[in-house]
Amino acid sequence: MSEATLPKFISFRGHGEIDFSAPLLATEDLLYAFALPSDRASVQALVDSTLAAPSKGVVDYQVLGNYVLLLFQHCGHFTSPKKIGWAEDRETAFMIPLIEKRPNSIHPVKLVLWMPYLMIDVGLGMVTGRDVWGYNKTLGTTTMPHSPDDPAVFNCQTLIFETFAFDTQARVATLIEVARADAKPFGALTPTWSDGASALKDIADALGPWSRWRSMSSRLCCIETFRSST
């Protein structure tokens, strides 16, 4: 049998689902994002070791701004075109804005959003996200408010190691939590911007000094979510 006649993929659909056939359709989403001040040099070191080093200079990534985003999400309904059924999930993730460059290339400079860590509470989403799209996903429980009367607490618990050692047992514990200092309910949200231009201006100001990239704005073609290989 020649390589050309070999099947590209063997589906286990109907034999105990562990992932969903792509593309997924996700609806009824609720997403909160917190901009956290970060140590730019430390974040750049993570980017260099994880993204730039494996490419051996083919692709370069520079951290954009002095913030990372902490995301809490509830997806109320996700399903597959294979009509398996549907599920919901809650996720906690970090996202880092980066500038992508390809030295000695005619490709334009791009603004990309990289997720180095993501915790999700459903195995279907975790396996599909890792196997199909390459997100660095693990299982974790996310708690977040859904109405103004709910506690203003965003919490993520997952399996952690306090230290890396042979005698350290993994345990489930809180990885990160965001809450109101006055312990009041979440309350009603009010809009900060009334138009897209105002929102983009505030985002640009919050990103910090990046004047050397602004001259390339005519070549800044798109924003996309970046996935690392696993």
**205 domain residue, yes or no:** no
pLDDT of residue 1: 57
pLDDT of residue 217: 41
Which amino acid appears at position 178 of this protein?
V
**167 domain residue, yes or no:** no
pLDDT of residue 210: 54
**71 domain residue, yes or no:** yes
Could you tell me the CATH number of the domain that includes residue 122?
2.40.400.10
Range of the domain at 113: 19-143+212-226
| Overall number of domains in the chain | 1
Grouped pLDDT means (10 residues each) for the chain, 230 residues: 72 74 87 94 95 87 92 94 89 95 79 93 88 88 95 96 95 96 91 85 71 45 46
pLDDT of residue 36: 93
**Distance between CA 86 and CA 195 in Å, rounded?**
35
**188 domain residue, yes or no:** no
| pTM score of the predicted model | 0.80
Tokens of 177: 């939590």
Local structure of residue 21 (DSSP, 8 states): P
Residue 140 phi, psi (nearest 5):
-170, 155
**Distance between CA 6 and CA 23 in Å, rounded?**
23
**126 domain residue, yes or no:** yes
**124 domain residue, yes or no:** yes
